[in-house]
Amino acid sequence: MSPPVFLAASAALEGDRVLLDGPEGRHAATVRRLRPGERVDLTDGAGLLAECVVAAADRASLTLDVVARHREPPPAPRLVVVQALPKGDRGELAVETMTEAGVDEIVPWSAARCVTRWRPERREKALARWRGTAREAGKQARRPRFPDVADLASTEQVAARLAAASLALVLHEEADAPLSAVRPPADGEIVLVVGPEGGITGEELEALGAAGGRPTRLGPTVLRTSTAGVAAAAVLLAATGRW
């Protein structure tokens, strides 16, 4: 069984002994009930992973001895998924599965046909849920490097990301080119756009295309917006050799 993973500050992981306290420490001590001699991995979520052994445990913290460190280099190419806001809690589902798959950044997009709207008074709370989901899924997937969850983007901001990308793709059910035929770059950034339940509007498709976004078809079936991203990510991660 793989040792559990907890989040810790980068500076703390540089020493030979780490005190894991706060919410992570309480969870490790009271929920997981870890005891001296057991193995634990700590990560800063930015590429540093420390293999540890529990030296001491109390009700709210663990004292851990670091036995090894590993630094995961930044991924190449970097995979960014622009995710149109799904309905209900499907946004968190999309973030969870894409994090587990290995997506490097998730950009929430307020597309024209999104049913869900992050109004100003609830935007920060909704964004915090997505970021919290990415953090927990990153630990579950044993990722030393967690994905970034960007601020809510407009169509103009999404177009700017596409224009700056090494490869810019827009999933669209009427596209002629299949995603499996795409040859990804060896480095730089791949930006993939996933539209909402109601589809990408003609105006949006035109704007994204003008910015360099290539319409591509994922497959013969139409996936929900909350599952299209992870399916497309799997195709691209395999094509890049990261899988």
Greatest alpha-carbon pair distance for the chain in Å reads 61
Domains of the chain: 5-71 (2.40.240.20), 78-240 (3.40.1280.10)
pLDDT exceeds cutoff 90 at 126: yes
Q: Which residue has the tokens 């001590």?
A: 29
Residue 2 has pLDDT above 90, yes or no: no
Rg (CA), the chain: 20
Other beta carbons within 10 angstroms of residue 67's beta carbon come to: 11
pLDDT tens string 163-212: 999 999 999 999 999 999 999 999 999 999 999 999 999 999 999 999 99
160 neighbors 122 (Cβ within 8 angstroms):
no
pLDDT above 80 (res 136) = yes
Exposed / middle / buried, residue 239 (Cβ in 10 Å: 0-12, 13-18, 19+): middle
What tokens appear for 47 in the block?
């590429």
Cα separation, 52 vs 49, in Å, equals 10
pLDDT score, position 222: 85
What is the reported pTM? 0.93
- Alpha-carbon distance of 51 to 49, in angstroms, equals 7
How does residue 242 score in pLDDT terms, banded at 50, 70 and 90? very high
Confidence category of residue 1, pLDDT binned at 50, 70, 90: confident
Nearest partner of 53 among 171, 63, 44, judged by Cα: 63
Question: What local confidence, expressed as pLDDT, does residue 219 receive?
Answer: 87
Q: What is the pLDDT of residues 62-91, one digit of tens each?
A: 999 999 999 999 999 999 999 999 998 999
- Amino acid making up residue 29: A
SS3 of 173, please?
Answer: coil
Q: Supply the mean pLDDT for the chain.
A: 95
Rounded average pLDDT over 215-231: 93
